[in-house]
Chains A and B, each alone.
Chain A
């Protein structure tokens, strides 16, 4: 063993030398200009000197440590909220479970993660993500909340507007998987709402597009819109205790088209608003009506329902 002071000494190693750092062993090959690293598990990797800091295109997820959130100040944080608070406009959440309730209150933030490998778990703390500002994007991560909390997966509060929710898996929500109740012009797409105690997807915000979402096992309604000028398209809704899709309250002038609704314990599609288009939907196995039109001026066009299924 060599007497070595890391703060004052430099090391010179020959080609045959190895260096122990923690449980790792490092060698340097001066001919190839490579570091070789012998791992504690017996594997070996080599680091070419000119590869320092390279980032492969698919490597964003690999670049952020497990349990860390990278903000655009270049720092990694232990909590998503701290990363959000320090970001100018972008946070990338690494793989891991983050037990917290995240509030986004700055405009134009993009919060993204590593798909199902990133779980923001509101637990009993609160809604997993709440948005109270404009022009935000939440993309490619998963959320959940604990039983008995009445907490949503993702929701809005006053000040939210033009929110994009893209490629989110809501593993379990004790109230709604996704609830947008403020502002307008939201886009909810490619989301997966697996278990909800109340609605899977709920919008009281005008001009909301809900497309290509899957929702199942709702203890209430699958998709409910209660404000006007919205579009529900290309969604799969199954196994709901309430309606599969409900348009009520102020949900006038909306379009419900091209959806597949299966095994609703109430109505498949329930319309209680004016001037809706309900078209090209395929509905089967509803306990009550496949389509229950209580609205005025509804255009029902080319839906497939009933015993034919």
Chain B
């Protein structure tokens, strides 16, 4: 062992050096990226200091470790054996690498973002329950696939808390409904919902946005909302529903610019509904009525339905 006191040994670039009095740490200068790498050999993680970012410190070790192991990571800087464990450890976010995760994840942390890495991050509730259920407020779920496969079992994704964002989520299969929301002010944006035994999307809460979603092949309604006011249901492609494409009650809702094909009623406004706008929807191939308005003071404007052709 070469002990150095007040010494200053020079190392060639690329040579690792074990930092003697700290177990398991190594230092290395990476010449190509001009980064100083501090490697924790015991848990495989690294931190680094980049030459062009003097004074700031980053670390990619846990991300790399999470990817190599195929394990979820949380903002505690650790990997975890399950998404649920990562959720419990997280204060603001969880990142889930691609993989099939057979678990039923409950999100109980306010403001948490559960971020997958696309369609290949599949959370499969299977027989355990919903793939994801968010009981906390201000939760974001994005870039994941979810599914369940028990007939009449749990819905694939369930929002209980308010202000839930669901973005780029794919429901690949559900034995019940695809996405259900129980509290106000949720946004369902650019999701694809397929092969649900019950509804594609369902909510009775107020102030919900469903925009730019593709909903296909569901056993009941595409968008199901008997109660709940102040909805915007816009620019969705809704096809092949056993019941209505959009089934809506209550008041002050806007249903605009949707393309709806091969449903029972394309848009069904239920008796007792008031002051709703149904505009600029193109509805065709309905087995019952393209737009079935049973409400009061519904504004019907610029829709195109089959008999008008």
Tell me the A residues contacting B by CB distance below 8 Å.
Answer: 1-6, 9-14, 16-24, 26, 28, 30, 35, 37, 39-47, 49, 51-57, 59-60, 62-66, 68, 70-74, 87-90, 107-110, 135-137, 162, 164, 166, 185, 187, 189, 207, 209, 211, 229-231, 233-234, 253-255, 257-258, 274-277, 279-280, 297, 299, 301-302
Contact = CB atoms under 8 A, between A and B. Distances in A.
A268 B283 CA distance: 25
Contact of A108 (B22, B120, B234, B239): B120
Contact of B77 (A18, A49, A54): A54
Interface in B23-54: 25, 27-29, 31, 33, 35-36, 38, 40, 43, 45-47, 49, 51, 54
A118 B269 CA distance: 47
A53 B40 contact: yes
Contact of A279 (B20, B27, B99, B302): B302
B18 A10 contact: yes
B119 A73 contact: no
A19 B19 CA distance: 10
A89 B8 contact: no
Contacts of B216: 185
A30 to B, nearest CB: 7
B97 A229 contact: no
B259 A22 contact: no
B152 interface: no
A109 B75 contact: no
A187 B22 contact: no
Contacts of A68: 33
5 shortest interchain CB distances as A-B pairs: A89-B120, A110-B118, A53-B45, A53-B61, A301-B302
Contacts, number: 316
B252 interface: no
Contact of A187 (B15, B68, B190): B190
Given A54-B59, A231-B235, A40 B51 contact: yes
A189 B29 contact: no
Contacts of A187: 190, 192, 212, 214
Contacts of B65: 53, 74
A55 B73 contact: yes
Q: Is the interface of A mostly helix, strand, loop or mixed?
A: loop
Nearest to A185: B214
Interface string B1-25: 1111111111101011111111001
A45 B49 contact: yes
Of listed B64, B65, B120, B170, residue having the most chain A CB within 10 A: B120
A68 B63 CA distance: 15
A26 B302 contact: no
21 contacts: A4-B2, A11-B2, A20-B9, A21-B29, A28-B21, A35-B19, A47-B47, A47-B49, A53-B40, A53-B62, A54-B62, A87-B98, A90-B97, A90-B98, A107-B119, A110-B98, A110-B143, A189-B190, A209-B190, A209-B237, A277-B304
B53 to A, nearest CB: 8
B91 to A, nearest CB: 9
B32 to A, nearest CB: 9
A148 to B, nearest CB: 33
A207 B237 contact: yes
